[in-house]
Amino acid sequence: MTALAFADPAVESQAAFRAILRAIASPGAIETCGRGLAPPSPLSPAAAAAILTLADFETPLWIASSLRGGEAAAYLKFHTGAPLAASPDRAAFALLDLERDRLDLKSFAQGTADYPDRSTTVVAETRSLARRRGMRIAGPGVNGTAEIDFSPTPDDFLSQWEANRSAFPLGVDLILTSGIELAILPRSVRVTGGE
């Protein structure tokens, strides 16, 4: 394993965790995360930081086929100890690339009525992520509305997200990553097309 994880695990994982908390508390906000990480290509520093911070030996990780074959899967497994999930619906965390993998939110673990937290948190790599006119976000943690734009965006993303949100408290949470930036869409927020 040649790619290193956090140089100072205690300090850097805490910084990444704080960035993730800020992003989930303010849906649509874009936070810097993973600066200084150099994970194997095509894994972005933000996606690596999120998984290195959140996953461990008790949280199964599902990795989409576009990222499974290279060094990225070995890097994440080595540094987190997370077992690889055989299917998306058995994962606590999932990693995919929106340019090369199909996003199917309903294929992931949705949680149960007694344990809604037993759902999958999906980390989705994007080509670009910006706080500009694109999609409008409203709901808990958003003062009025927020706008976010990410690319590529699946053609059916808005309908998938509405189905995901309408199942609340069940459903998945989505972490969008690009380079050293991330934004989070919790299952509780409404996402509509921008004007």
User: What is the domain range of residue 164?
Assistant: 9-193
The total of structural domains in the chain comes to 1
Q: Is position 138 within any domain?
A: yes
CATH code for the domain of 92:
3.40.50.11310
Question: Which of left, alpha, beta for 186 (phi over 0: left; psi -120 to 50: alpha)?
Answer: beta
User: What is the edge-to-edge ordering of all strands in the sheet holding 146-151?
Assistant: 146-151, 128-138, 190-193
Query: How, if at all, do strands 121-125 and 93-97 pair?
Result: parallel
| Beta-strand runs (E) in 40-120 | 61-63, 93-97
- The first and second tokens of residue 67, run together, are 């990222």
Does 195 have pLDDT greater than 70?
Answer: no
- The first and second tokens of residue 26, run together, are 């303010």
Alpha carbon of 5 to those of 12, 121, 162, 192: distances in Å? Answer: 10, 21, 36, 36
Q: Is the separation of the CB atoms in 54 and 121 below 8 Å? A: yes
Q: Is position 137 within any domain?
A: yes
Provide long-range contacts, Cβ within 8 A and 24+ apart, for 153-161.
Answer: 153/98, 154/98, 154/102, 154/103, 157/103, 157/191, 158/191, 158/192, 158/193, 160/103, 160/104, 160/105, 160/106, 161/105, 161/185, 161/191
| Res 69: pLDDT | 79
pLDDT tens by residue, 68-96: 878 999 999 999 999 999 999 999 999 99
| Res 43: pLDDT | 94
Q: Is position 103 within any domain?
A: yes
Q: Is position 161 within any domain?
A: yes
Q: Is position 3 within any domain?
A: no
- The first and second tokens of residue 27, run together, are 């849906």
Q: Is the separation of the CB atoms in 116 and 173 below 8 Å? A: no
Lowest mean pLDDT among 35-39, 101-105, 181-185: 35-39
- The first and second tokens of residue 51, run together, are 């998984």
Q: Is position 1 within any domain?
A: no
Alpha carbon of 195 to those of 26, 137, 153, 190: distances in Å? Answer: 21, 12, 16, 15
Q: What is the pTM of this model?
A: 0.94
Q: How confident is the model at residue 3 (pLDDT cuts 50, 70, 90)?
A: low
Q: Is position 110 within any domain?
A: yes
